[in-house]
Chains A and B, each alone.
Chain A
């Protein structure tokens, strides 16, 4: 087909977008195939091509990471019917189906919709799933209800038709306090609850992100009153829409706008965007403010089944690899109806949780969960490994992350490492896109292939000592077959020098990477 010459400096994806963001999945089902251009647009409907040709993935958007038990049952049913019985939990609190066939997509979307489940804007150049910190509304440290705010934000921005075609994806998350459990620093917009002069509101950072070029988010505002945060996020989205690179998709994200233009420029733009929409910025404070809330711990709550401020408990389900069968997922919905608040929650460590569990029901629920084969303790510990799906489904992945997951899980589960079980987290990602944010984990693995004399083998770049605000340092590149030995050497070295209940990252910062290098490579 002859191409229309426009000489506009934009990517081919932009050309496709310009042709219209509309897809008719029923027609597609009749034709039995998705055209190349269609598959770009399908992302707006939350549908992605899988690594296996002819198969698709659908991502259900779950603002704040909460769904009703009825929605959960619906999802389980759809997984059984169309998705080979598998449900995946993502690090951004969404749920995914794999193995979907083009012919079923239309029906699947309809059937999901009957229970208010939606895949709309699951992918694509739009505001993605708005996430919240895990304990949110029940957390003792919270300044405000991050989950409710996330849900409201998703609704508000989802209705802004003028934000349907951003240069690239746009990610927002909410943390109830400065412990930042929702990881604001690696998102486009990160909001953390603060109380200033008695008014609850948010500290706003923008321009963070993982991927091939990571950035730590920078402070946009020290304080935005809670009732203005939607407009502020919209103003940031408009800044992004107007200044994001539409030619080079690898450099489109908001983090590059902030990096290129500088935070001061961005702030001025955001304020002027607010003014254009008649929102006053008078009560927005640029400088950091003193937070008046109760003091919080810097790592997420590690307690098993913590009790919330409402007197009820949160019971967690550690979901290895973030993957469950449809029947287990269905059972989880039932459990939420029997023991909890009839809701199922997703967390950014690919886990599930129940809230509103009466103190008297905690034991019973925990044992029900264990009976299903899942742990209820160990959230945010070494054994709570987060791994992306890797080459199992993802067309972008380089390695089969799940093979490493099994190795790591076995090693950290060894009795000799019991004493350090709570000393950090391990993230495994199959490519530099970092769906599992490996740079901020205490130990991070990133898939790669390592060249040999002839051919190549799977391997990992390994980082140690990452945190949200300072990324891990590179220990080296290891063949998969060497990862087990390497990991033991790292953990042994850590055990040898650990002071009281130090986190691994703190230890790396204290003794230096060199110590670990020597331990791993041996004396040179």
Chain B
């Protein structure tokens, strides 16, 4: 045929034009399109729920969260917010990331009172699963396995389910009714929780016999220790972080007297310090002593602010060396550290300076320097191997299988474990993750425009310091509807993805001229990895070298201008959403 032209193959970004794709390409594309969701260990559909919040649809927003991260009300308060670090709305001129976490809480605070459990994925399988430990990971695995049709029982040795949610985190950060409601929702779905039920290695052996699968979800219960010269065994003066928080949370601690020092830089350290502040008199000093700098601490901006307001001193680059008394007052003698030159990691190596002692008043010492799991629950001869163990029907999840991490990581682990266990129980993989691709027909309008991008991030309202210490009142009071509206409309809604149909594009460059950023590139070549995912774009200077006009989703702020100026309707706006459970046909 005359005039038949050879053209470079066009890069693909999804395996399907519309519908559900489950190829690695689909997952990579959505990962690039929605960085916050990709960063979230549990792959929470952040823009999906933020879009609902912006429209005032709190229940819908809550249900998305419920699906993805299981404990929206909880995580909306205490999540470590790795998503916000990756948020696209982080250019220097737009006031930092979207307040994803606070918005999650806002939706959870504004739902209708009655929530029903999520619908099951599969009908009853007749399989029996017992999970030991009712912390976030165990409860997540329980809920998921229950939705997959299995009969699930959770055994908890403490009087209340929730694990670290009730024994670790203080109520002034996480009110207990929130935890209880979200656990109740899991029970409503059909999960049985038995509390006060300690399990040791021998009970474990029986459970392994009696169940189709058993999951250890006992978390990290042993505190790391260090010896500091001069510190005695006096139980009113010396605590581990875990123990201190557990007793604080149960109201078992008396008022403390004297100055308090918490050693450590993790979440527990900060919680201990703030809890201690609520147990000492106003003239006592409460300090955190940490060996690295503030930048390496787990606490976020709000927590530092709260500590400042509550008069908790944060003393960094110090390592405790010995404890002594000076008359009636105790003193912790520390040595100074310096960050090793040139180490730019988040947790850099440090070196101790000799002859550099610093004295900090310290009558009560709390060591919150980490915790680890207790392997004694495993019957003799059984070895841990990630989620699996050397025993075919015994699995592990959460902190027990990994290292001590945050709640969202535990949730992610619980979900992952549930899938592995389901495959074991059913003898086949029944579902995979996928991406729903939808076309839109709205001229590239996501419902927001440029003014929304440049709103200021408003701070989380907090209780006045005066009166804050009464009754374990929650310090952060939550977004008002006005603040939530601002916060929600700042999000670019990255689930909307703009792409150019290379067969329609005539290289007019109008989109490039209209674009607010360098989001659209003239590409000489686009290289893809084995999954077909574009990994490198070689840019062209001249029209003759331009093979493709290419939208780089990394730099796209979803303004839709390109779509609206394109004279050939080559640009379309897709809507991507990640689906956790795409059923496979057997």
Contacts and interface: CB of A to CB of B under 8 A. Distances in A.
A455 B564 contact: no
A479 interface: yes
Interface in A439-496: 447-457, 461, 476, 478-479, 482, 485-486
A298 interface: no
A177 B135 CA distance: 85
Contact of A248 (B2, B506, B547, B564): B564
A30 interface: no
Given A398-B507, A449-B506, A520-B2, A454 B451 contact: no
Contacts of B525: 454
Interface in B494-533: 502, 505-510, 513, 524-525
Contacts of B202: none
Contacts of A448: 506-508
Nearest to A9: B449
Given A9-B449, A247-B449, A520 B506 contact: no
Nearest to A212: B567
Interface string A356-391: 000000000000000000000000000000000000
A479 B547 contact: no
B546 A5 contact: no
Interface string B538-569: 00100111111000000000000000111111
Contact of A522 (B2, B5, B509, B568): B2
B1 interface: yes
A454 B547 contact: yes
Contacts of B565: 249-250
A451 B524 CA distance: 10
B524 A454 contact: yes
A251 B513 CA distance: 18
Nearest to A476: B3
Given A433-B567, A452-B547, A524-B1, A12 B450 contact: yes
B8 A451 contact: yes
A457 B449 CA distance: 36
Nearest to A250: B564
B177 to A, nearest CB: 37
A67 to B, nearest CB: 33
A454 B455 CA distance: 43
B452 interface: yes
B532 to A, nearest CB: 18
Contacts of A457: 544
Nearest to B454: A3
A453 B6 contact: yes
B345 interface: no
Given A5-B455, A520-B2, A522-B2, A453 B8 contact: yes
A439 to B, nearest CB: 13
A461 to B, nearest CB: 8
A427 B246 CA distance: 83
Contact of B567 (A248, A431, A521): A431
A249 B7 CA distance: 32
Contacts of A250: 564-565, 567
Contacts of B567: 211-212, 250, 431-433
A456 B3 contact: no
Contacts of B508: 396, 398, 431-432, 448-449
A478 B5 CA distance: 9
Contact of B8 (A452, A461, A479, A482): A452
A456 B544 contact: yes
Interface SS of chain B: helix, strand, loop or mixed?
loop
B548 to A, nearest CB: 7
B406 interface: no
A249 B3 CA distance: 36
Interface residues of B, number: 39
A433 B506 CA distance: 13
A3 B451 contact: yes
A519 to B, nearest CB: 10
A6 interface: yes
B266 to A, nearest CB: 39
Given A247-B449, A479-B5, A521-B2, A456 B507 contact: yes
B568 A456 contact: no
A522 B544 CA distance: 29
Given A447-B506, A521-B1, A522-B1, A455 B524 contact: yes
Nearest to B452: A7
A227 to B, nearest CB: 40
Contacts of A520: 2-3
A106 B507 CA distance: 36
B562 to A, nearest CB: 11
B158 interface: no
Interface string B437-462: 00000010100011110110000000
Given A455-B544, A456-B546, A450 B5 contact: yes
Nearest to A460: B506
A248 B547 CA distance: 28
B5 A452 contact: yes
Contact of A6 (B2, B451, B545, B548): B451
A212 B571 CA distance: 13
Interface string A245-275: 0011111000000000000000000000000
Contact of B546 (A212, A432, A455, A479): A455
Contacts of A482: 3
B7 A451 contact: yes
Contacts of A249: 564-565
A450 B568 CA distance: 14
Contacts of B502: 451
Interface string A91-128: 00000000000000000000000000000000000000
A432 B510 CA distance: 11
B55 to A, nearest CB: 15
Nearest to A395: B513
Among B1, B507, B543, the one with the most A-chain Cβ atoms within 10 Å of its Cβ is B507
B409 to A, nearest CB: 38
Contacts of B513: 395
A453 B567 CA distance: 24
Nearest to A524: B1
Contacts of A451: 7-8, 502, 505, 507, 547-548
Interface in B449-507: 449-452, 454-455, 502, 505-507
Given A7-B452, A454-B8, A456-B543, A212 B1 contact: no
Among A3, A7, A396, A451, the one with the most B-chain Cβ atoms within 10 Å of its Cβ is A451
Among B4, B450, B543, B566, the one with the most A-chain Cβ atoms within 10 Å of its Cβ is B543
A34 B493 CA distance: 36
Contacts of A478: 3
Interface string B564-581: 111111000000000000
A432 B568 contact: yes
A242 B291 CA distance: 66
Contacts of A251: 443, 564
Nearest to A398: B508
Interface in B400-454: 443, 445, 449-452, 454
A339 to B, nearest CB: 44
Contact of B451 (A5, A447, A524): A5
Among A12, A395, A449, the one with the most B-chain Cβ atoms within 10 Å of its Cβ is A449
A6 B443 CA distance: 22
B568 A212 contact: yes
A250 B511 CA distance: 12
27 contacts: A3-B451, A3-B454, A5-B451, A5-B454, A6-B451, A7-B451, A247-B445, A248-B443, A250-B564, A251-B443, A433-B567, A448-B507, A449-B508, A449-B546, A450-B5, A451-B7, A451-B502, A451-B547, A454-B524, A455-B540, A455-B546, A455-B547, A456-B547, A478-B3, A479-B5, A482-B3, A520-B2
The 6 closest A-B pairs by CB, nearest first: A448-B506, A432-B567, A449-B507, A212-B567, A5-B451, A451-B7
Given A449-B546, A453-B8, 9 more contacts: A7-B452, A248-B443, A432-B506, A447-B506, A449-B507, A450-B5, A453-B6, A454-B8, A456-B507
